A and B are shown apart, each in its own frame.
Chain A
């Protein structure tokens, strides 16, 4: 009888402990990676490779996402706002929602799928084929070599991507506004710039940097700690994408609260 009551409790306790261990592990991992950023040597070559991979090769995906989002946003707000005769606010709705929310979040989610997965798979494969151990025996700290440059690259690349996404998203809205909804081009743009605020754009870029950190951290951490061959690497890749996507949304809430709930 006892075990009926205690077993679930014990299982809960074990799960809680495991969760705490994992969170602690990730936190220590992050701190170590950051500490390596502050101490030489720094692997510029690897930083640049990761940066190009994130910023340049994610550009098409992020651009398409942003354009279509801007277009949909314009269309949806038009049909919604027409009921209140508030069509004139469409430009402001598009620019505010893009710069504050949709630009950073959607770009980050797309990058999480691409980059989180590729970091986890690459580093995970290196782990299960002893390449990370080999680095250690070749006078190279694997955290410094594999993790630190990738994290820095993501933190810098994401805001740049989001800046592009903001611009293209607004353009998407403008396209629909002028060609489909009958706005005068100049008036739409004027309305856009009137409502665009530095605070909105900057908060979005700060969010983007934070999301970049999360994506690179989860990708590298999952890869670094993967075990057990191809299957383990596959699991690490999935975990990296799923966890970083959820963390992006959760962190988005936290940051929004911090920036705007005053």
Chain B
């Protein structure tokens, strides 16, 4: 399914024919979601081109995680359209959904590691579930992926509860990328890491996109990181995407909202609801 062209743009008249607009990898239109009386998403429109990396910005509690969970099908939106590869994910059969899920990776904001399993089994969980690897091979594979996120292979034998917060984050990251997914969601990949490790992880994410050709959607509060990992950035505010543009421009976009957010200024159009 192609994007519907505007009525004026009849391809037959255009000469030479413009290249057909590529189907975005992910397309959201008018996605709304409320929890009780609270309208968290109020018509989110977002396009993510294949092989691109998009960073979603927004204040705490603005609905960034909810947006991602809607695309993943973990939260059912009240209204709207979500398409992946041009196919409506909200009305898919369970089998199609599972097939799609096989190609998607997700890093949860809090890691969400399985604490009943050792680290190596966490990392290779998806590969084992899809029977792409034997249990005997999984330890070595886990050590390989753990090395990419800067962890020693011996970490594989620990339980997640024995790791520091930053280490847990990196194990979760390793788990998200181990199966080499097509589409990867990172919910605050570098929060809780030291600056150098943060830069390493940013590099890893860029690598996933550039080398593996994956499409990435990341949430971050760190502007330096956003500029490093994002091709484009989108700002979520009051339930809408209020700005969408190149990530490199963050901080001097000309949009007062985004600039205030990116530069972390107290004064501006965004008023924190603090009691004076």
Query: Which residues of A are in contact with B by a Cβ distance under 8 Å?
Result: 122, 126, 129-131, 133-134, 136-141
Contacts and interface: CB of A to CB of B under 8 A. Distances in A.
B112 A139 contact: no
Interface in B112-141: 112-116, 125-126, 129-130
B72 A137 contact: yes
B114 A131 contact: yes
A129 B129 CA distance: 21
B224 to A, nearest CB: 27
B230 interface: no
A241 B69 CA distance: 32
Contacts of B101: 136-137, 139
Max chain B CB contacts within 10 Å: which of A122, A133, A134, A140?
A: A134
A131 B111 CA distance: 9
B161 to A, nearest CB: 12
B5 interface: no
Contacts of A136: 72-74, 101
B104 interface: yes
Contact of B110 (A126, A129, A138, A140): A129
Interface of B: 69, 72-74, 98, 101-102, 104-106, 108-110, 112-116, 125-126, 129-130, 175, 179
Given A139-B98, A139-B101, A139-B102, A134 B129 contact: no
B110 A130 contact: yes
B108 A138 contact: no
A122 to B, nearest CB: 8
Given A136-B73, A137-B105, 15 more contacts: A129-B110, A129-B112, A130-B108, A130-B110, A130-B112, A131-B115, A133-B108, A136-B74, A136-B101, A137-B104, A137-B106, A138-B126, A139-B101, A139-B129, A140-B125
B10 to A, nearest CB: 42
A134 to B, nearest CB: 4
A29 B72 CA distance: 22
A130 B112 CA distance: 5
A140 B108 CA distance: 16
Contacts of A129: 110, 112
Contacts of B116: 122
B52 to A, nearest CB: 21
Contacts of A126: 114
A133 B98 contact: no
A18 B4 CA distance: 44
B106 A134 contact: yes
A92 B117 CA distance: 49
B123 to A, nearest CB: 11
Given A130-B108, A133-B108, A138 B129 contact: yes
